[in-house]
Amino acid sequence: MQHKRDYAGATAAQLIPSRVSQRAGTAVVNSETALRHSAVWAALRLRANLVSTMPVDTYRKVLGVQVEVPKPPVLVNPGGERVDIMEWLYSSQWDLDRAGNVFGLITERSGFGSGSGTGDGLPARIDLVPCGDVAVVVKKGKLDHYRIGSETYQPSEVWHERQYTVSGLHVGLSPIAYAAWSIGEYLSIVDFALDWFGNGAHPSAMLKNETQTLDPAATEAVRERFKAAVKAGDVFVTGKDWTYEMLQAEQAGSSWLEAKGASNTDIARYFDVPADLIDAAVKGDSVTYANIVERNIQLLVMHLGPAIFRRERALSRLLAKPRFVKLNTGALLRMDPKASAEMLAKQIESRQMAPSEARALADRPPFTESQLAEFDRLFGKPGAKQSPAAKQPQPEPQLQEV
């Protein structure tokens, strides 16, 4: 018995025209297949690039003043000699943004049993593991253990950072899980496009005879011959009286490109990046900024700021209290030379910064005595009084006739 198809809950892949040889199922979206989407890759790369290249600084408060202190080895080479802090931050930020979680095995601890009282038992090395290999086991609402591959580990043996959390859930949420519909539609469209342009599939078409009127039996025979030839990837041979037209080719290609573009902006929203920074700007929208600093401030405050703050809190757990970690965002807010010079000059004039501090920001040593003496010769000493003779205007030289 033949049943009518119900399209009410059909997915994008089911509604897209298929090849002559039918394929069942829809596009499978997970943290791995999603990387086939260029917007997903661009968004993850942008965030991981920026966060991983921010210098990691450690501080403590002394009489209310923030004082920098030396970094422990775990914040220099957290994965051993082969994995420095930049690579570690890149990999872990990538996992946080695509899966909502990052996991690592604590393979070394610092100063355990030394009696130093500083940093005893804190992680000294964390080897990151693929998120797909980890299972988080919860019993009666409490975290019981982690399973990595076939091995079981206690919570104290595993480094686990989360983001996009909800109450009562022991793991972070994955943006890809919520973006699965948009990504799935895109991947289905890409699969169809690859089949159409690369493997010989065709949208709805018309095969007509210019000179003969065929009865139903002859029409069916020609149709079956054509389908068999296309299915096998073979050449369909006809006489001069046959014409084949792909009726929906132009429309389908246009729809594919439009759907692809719309999906890019959706993904930018899911991964919290400005669409224009991954070349997915919305048509007709125009956002202008006075300079690149203003643009980067918007990026830092509205998009990266919360993620950076969460990472600072997590990395601070690697230090003995009251020490804490700060990611230096100065590189992201670097100004052009003219704006930087004007800002430093104003801070020096208003006594907010010493000239030696300003020179240190430009990787220059403090002024030497000879340099200061040269300034005095050229511009005079600050606050020095001029003699009365110096204040009087000098007469202009008179030209004499010869």
pLDDT per residue as tens, the chain (402 positions)? 444 444 344 443 343 333 333 333 456 666 677 777 888 899 999 999 999 999 999 999 988 888 999 999 999 999 999 999 999 999 999 999 988 999 999 999 987 544 444 456 899 999 999 988 999 998 888 899 999 989 999 999 999 999 988 888 888 888 877 776 667 766 776 676 666 556 555 545 566 676 777 778 877 887 787 777 766 666 666 665 666 555 444 555 556 556 666 678 888 888 899 888 888 765 555 556 656 667 778 888 888 999 999 999 999 999 998 999 999 887 666 656 666 777 778 888 888 888 888 888 777 898 899 988 888 888 887 765 655 554 555 566 565 554
Cis, peptide link before residue 322, omega less than 30° from 0 = yes
| Helix then strand then coil, % of the chain, to nearest 5 | 45, 15, 40
93/281 Cα distance (integer angstroms): 24
148/384 Cα distance (integer angstroms): 74
- Do 147 and 129 contact (CB within 8 A), yes or no? no
Nearest to 133 by CA among 115, 147, 122: 147
84/79 Cα distance (integer angstroms): 6
The pLDDT of residue 219: 77
The helix (H) or strand (E) run that includes residue 161 is strand 158-162
The pLDDT of residue 299: 84
3-state DSSP call for residue 205? Answer: strand
97/44 Cα distance (integer angstroms): 7
| pTM (2 d.p.) | 0.65
- Residue 353, phi-psi category: left (phi > 0), alpha (psi -120 to 50), beta (remainder): beta
Q: Cα-atom radius of gyration of the chain, to the nearest Å? A: 34
320/311 Cα distance (integer angstroms): 17
Query: What ranges do the domains of the chain cover?
Result: 13-133+159-202+248-334, 205-246, 337-378
Q: How many CB atoms lie within 10 A of CB 285?
A: 9
Residues in the chain: 402
The pLDDT of residue 302: 86
- Residue 122, phi-psi category: left (phi > 0), alpha (psi -120 to 50), beta (remainder): beta
